[in-house]
Amino acid sequence: MAKKLTLYSFVPFDRSARVRWLAHELGMDIEEYKLDYAGGEHRGEAHLARHPFGLVPAVEIDGQTQWESVAICQSLAEQNPEAGFTVPMASPQRRAYLSWLMFAASTLDAAAFAAFAPVALKPDAEAAKVGKAQVTPMLVTLARLLSKQDYLMGDKFMLPDLICGHAIQLLYFIKVLDDFPSLIAYRKRLASRPAAKAAKVFNPRPGN
């Protein structure tokens, strides 16, 4: 029987989407609770016991809590090695795996959001221009790599692709990917995965 995961989120496309997607990939039983952000539920005692900073995602599994999307996803991947989403500690690919994972989770994620926010959340033409200029060199490098191989680690979908996919979708929303055919094709490969469809990661609009 698949293990049950309780996921706490705000909206469908916050960083809880990463956890939801991986949980679907692993065939887990997911119960999702959407916190009332406007009502301040995330600042209440119950949620602060799950996440000391009152953010999302947070999860409960087997009576234990965990927070931070990449930490949750890496834990789940390590607990299910047969799924092949992570690389064993002793593998010579481990360093490359961790480098791509952290790039997607930090460098790319921050740049993607900096480009996305002034277009989709709080319109600011100058900030949007700066954001696009900052993320474009990263996309050039990614596009070059993904024109030669299907995924970040080669021919196999792994956790860095899942985390990268979340950022790629932010950039897709604001049409920054339009000049990068290999990234459009990469997004299409990610979006075609049944678990990604079930998790609704690649829906047409961020809030849907």
Q: Quick check: 84 and 158 in contact, CB under 8 A?
A: yes
3-state helix, strand, coil in the chain (%, to 5): 55, 10, 35
Query: How confident is the prediction for the chain on average, in pLDDT?
Result: 96
The closest of 182, 179, 178 to 147, measured between CA atoms, is 182
Q: What is the pLDDT of residue 193?
A: 98
Q: Global pTM?
A: 0.95
Cβ atoms of 23 and 76 within 8 Å: the answer is yes
149 is written with which tokens?
A: 């191989």
pLDDT value at 9 more than 90: yes
- How large a percentage of the chain has pLDDT more than 90? 95
